[in-house]
Amino acid sequence: MINFCEKIRAKHKTLCSVPDGKLVFGLYKNTHEINAEEWNSVIGGQHFFLQLNYLSLVEKLHSPAIYFRYIIVYKNKVPVFVTYFQINDFTADVFGDLLDSQFASVQSKRKRLFAHYLDHQKTNVVMRLLTCGNNFISGENGMAFKDLTAAEAFDVLEKVVDVIGREEKLRGKISATLIKDFYSTTLTKHKGLDEEKFTSFSVEPNMIVDIPEGIKSLNEYIALFSKKYRNRAKGIFKAAATIVRKELSEQEVEQYDKEIYQLYEQVYEHAKFKLVKLGARYFTETKKTFSQQFSVHGFFLNNKLIAFDSGFLPGNNTVEAHFIGFDYKLNKDFELYQNILYSYIDCALQNNCKHINLGRTASEIKSTVGAKAQDLTCYVRPQNTVSKMALSPLVSFLQPTEWVPRNPFKED
């Protein structure tokens, strides 16, 4: 059993008074307060999205719309665990169609009253969501640990969540806690969070493409497809024959900053539920910070940018697909979305990467280019009546929809 000291110990000098075996933690409101050497000693070089320069960038671009908290846990004065939180306020109108569809056929008087309450709170904050992890990316990027077992790490995480809820400026204001994302393989090997405190639920899987050994080009990759899917791919490329795709330099991302963001907003506005929105100049600032590790490809029609894709090359033999954008009016005629998927595969091949994480959503379409599902689980804990009611449609939305996996490759 993990035992914390009773009070938050943010100053390192207090570590000396901690009994051996007991854990103590520092709580920080921004990355500038964090001892980088201590943080890095836990994450090592294995967690790109836990690097302080990345977290600092996200914080800079999204404060004060989002609040941030970071924690380092020490055992015998040595850092053994790190995690961070994003805190979002949601107004009633954000839930939009999700709530409307849930309440359309509601017979419960309690739910009808809640729907009426939301209708009169359109622009007021109705839920403050504490998220352990990153709302802008998917996968296991929310915590890292060393010199602890996985079971101990999950125990620490539970207690850390309680710590954040008791923090002075957040006390009594957190409506619900969301902890994301864990791969099913992790939870099969190790006990997850206490399900008496948290409710687990599946979310849309990450879709992963594995490049077969020896494949060096997109043409070689497509050649592995069955005739049906080769012809499909050829049709997709033919539709975009007049489109020019190019990797954008740092200066070009700056040059097309407004156009890129407007195309991103088109995709964002089509989302059924808008959990978070990227800050302005996100793509330009990210490219400046990670010049070699962040790629942006533009798709041009008659010298006009009509689509883009972005992705990270974190150095682990993987391309992490990130945000995209395209002109919805042109999408069907030029197969923009499908060409973006192949763009990621080409990017991986050009950079000698063996895996592409295409992220969540559109699972069936992604499977047509060779992606396979990697299941993810989240945990949630509502902390008041409003959040219990509001989380129901949100969780329903996040859970996987039925889809048919496709296999584009030739059968052996």
Over the stretch 321-359, which tens digit does the pLDDT of each residue have? 999 999 999 999 999 999 999 999 999 999 999 999 999
Q: How many CB atoms within 10 Å of residue 228?
A: 10
Choice between 110 and 142, residue whose per-residue pLDDT is larger: 142
Contact between residue 88 and residue 276 where contact means Cβ atoms under 8 Å apart:
yes
**Residues comprising the chain, all counted:** 412
pLDDT score, position 395: 73
The tokens for 233 are 């791919």
Which of 316, 397, 329, 412 is CA-nearest to residue 94? 397
Q: How confident is the model at residue 211 (pLDDT cuts 50, 70, 90)?
A: very high
Tell whether the model's pLDDT for residue 37 goes beyond 90: yes
Contact between residue 228 and residue 372 where contact means Cβ atoms under 8 Å apart:
no
Stretch 252-261: mean pLDDT: 98
Q: How confident is the model at residue 123 (pLDDT cuts 50, 70, 90)?
A: low
Choice between 301 and 138, residue whose per-residue pLDDT is larger: 301
CA atoms within 13 A on the CB side of 250: 10
Cα–chain center distance at 390: 21
User: What residue type is assigned to position 399 of the chain?
Assistant: Q
Contact between residue 178 and residue 380 where contact means Cβ atoms under 8 Å apart:
yes
The tokens for 200 are 């687990």
Tell whether the model's pLDDT for residue 258 goes beyond 50: yes
Please report the DSSP string for 366-377 in residue order: HHTTT-EEEEEE
CATH architecture, range 12-202+376-398:
3-Layer(aba) Sandwich (3.40)
Rounded mean pLDDT of the chain? 85
Residue 287 backbone phi and psi in degrees, to 5: -65, -40
Q: Fill in the DSSP letter of residue 261.
A: H
Calculate the CA dihedral of residues 255, 261, 263, 268 and round it to 10 degrees. 170
Q: How confident is the model at residue 383 (pLDDT cuts 50, 70, 90)?
A: confident
Lowest mean pLDDT among 101-110, 237-246, 254-263: 101-110
* b/e map 48-79, b = 16+ CB within 10 Å: bbbbbebbbbbbebbeeebbbbbbbbbbeeeb
Show the CA angle centred on residue 280, arms to residues 276 and 282, nearest 5°: 80
Q: Which helix (H) or strand (E) holds 356?
A: strand 355-357
| Long-range Cβ pairs for the range 250-257 (8 Å, 24+) | 250/287, 250/288, 250/291, 252/298, 253/283, 253/284, 253/287, 253/296, 254/284, 254/287, 256/298, 256/305, 256/308, 257/281, 257/283, 257/284
User: What residue type is assigned to position 315 of the chain?
Assistant: G
Choice between 167 and 59, residue whose per-residue pLDDT is larger: 59
Comma-separated ranges of CATH 3.40.630.30 domains in the chain: 12-202+376-398, 212-353
CATH architecture, range 212-353:
3-Layer(aba) Sandwich (3.40)
Please report the DSSP string for 199-234 in residue order: EEEEEEEEEEEEPPTT--SHHHHHHTB-HHHHHHHH
Q: What is the pLDDT of residues 38-60, one digit of tens each?
A: 999 999 888 999 999 999 999 99
Contact between residue 115 and residue 71 where contact means Cβ atoms under 8 Å apart:
no
Stretch 155-170: mean pLDDT: 80
* b/e map 332-362, b = 16+ CB within 10 Å: eebbbbbbbbbbbbbbbbeeebbebbbbbeb
CA 211/CA 354 separation, integer angstroms: 5
pLDDT score, position 191: 67
Which of 246, 209, 244, 205 is CA-nearest to residue 225? 209
Show the CA angle centred on residue 401, arms to residues 376 and 331, nearest 5°: 105
Which of 198, 165, 197 is CA-nearest to residue 182? 198
Sign of CA dihedral 9, 59, 296, 206: positive
Q: What is the pLDDT of residues 58-85, one digit of tens each?
A: 999 998 889 999 999 998 889 999 999 9
Stretch 175-180: mean pLDDT: 87
Instruction: Find all residues with CB under 8 Å of 168, minimum gap 6, and list them.
Output: none
- The CA-atom distances, in angstroms, between 230 and each of 333, 368, 408 are 19, 10, 8
